[in-house]
């Protein structure tokens, strides 16, 4: 912002007094105060809106990263499920081969 020292403010007040005169100076000072207040409030609104947008952007980025992690976990789970399904199918096929192969002969004592 603009830096105003006490000397600069005093010089500005003297110039305003000379230019405006003692009758119009209080009204002009109030008007300047109102304008500065509006300017400051407007600046604060812009600043807070930018901060909100930055926070929203951060939340969106976090949500996107979480979705990517969840998708990677889902793909890993699908791959594990697929390999388990393949192993079960192979086991079923092996059992079916053994079941259709030559029957097991029982020995005299009843053991295979």
Domain assignment present for residue 40? The answer is yes
In the prediction, which pLDDT does 69 show?
97
Q: Please report whether residue 105 resides in a domain.
A: no
pLDDT at residue 105 tops 90: no
Q: Is 2 among the domain residues? A: no
User: Are the beta carbons of 28 and 16 closer than 8 angstroms?
Assistant: yes
Look up tokens 């009843």; give the residue: 110
Is residue 9 one of the residues assigned to a domain?
Answer: no
Measure the CA–CA gap between 45 and 37, rounded to whole angstroms: 12
| Distances in whole angstroms, Cα of residue 21 to Cα of each of 14, 17, 25, 97 | 10, 5, 6, 112
d(CA 71, CA 86): 22
Domain containing residue 47: 15-98
Please indicate, yes or no, if residue 110 is contained in any of the structural domains. no
Q: Considering its fold, how many domains does the chain have in total?
A: 1
The tens digit of pLDDT for each residue in 37-89 reads 999 999 999 999 999 999 999 999 999 999 999 999 999 999 999 999 999 99
In a domain, 112, yes or no: no
- pLDDT tens for each residue of 27-46: 988 998 999 999 999 999 99
Q: What gap in Å lies between CA 95 and CA 41, rounded to an integer?
A: 80
The pLDDT confidence band at residue 96, using thresholds 50, 70 and 90, is confident
Residue 29 placed within a domain: yes
């Amino acid at each position: 912002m603009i830096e105003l020292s006490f000397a600069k403010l005093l010089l500005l007040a003297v110039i305003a007094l000379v230019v405006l005169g003692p009758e119009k100076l209080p009204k002009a000072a109030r008007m300047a105060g109102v304008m500065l207040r509006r300017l400051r409030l407007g600046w604060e609104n812009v600043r807070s809106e930018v901060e909100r947008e930055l926070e929203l952007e951060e939340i969106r980025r976090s949500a996107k990263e979480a979705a990517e992690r969840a998708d990677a976990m889902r793909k890993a789970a699908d791959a594990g499920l697929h390999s388990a399904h393949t192993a079960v199918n192979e086991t079923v096929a092996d059992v079916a081969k053994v079941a259709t192969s030559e029957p097991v002969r029982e020995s005299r004592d009843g053991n295979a």
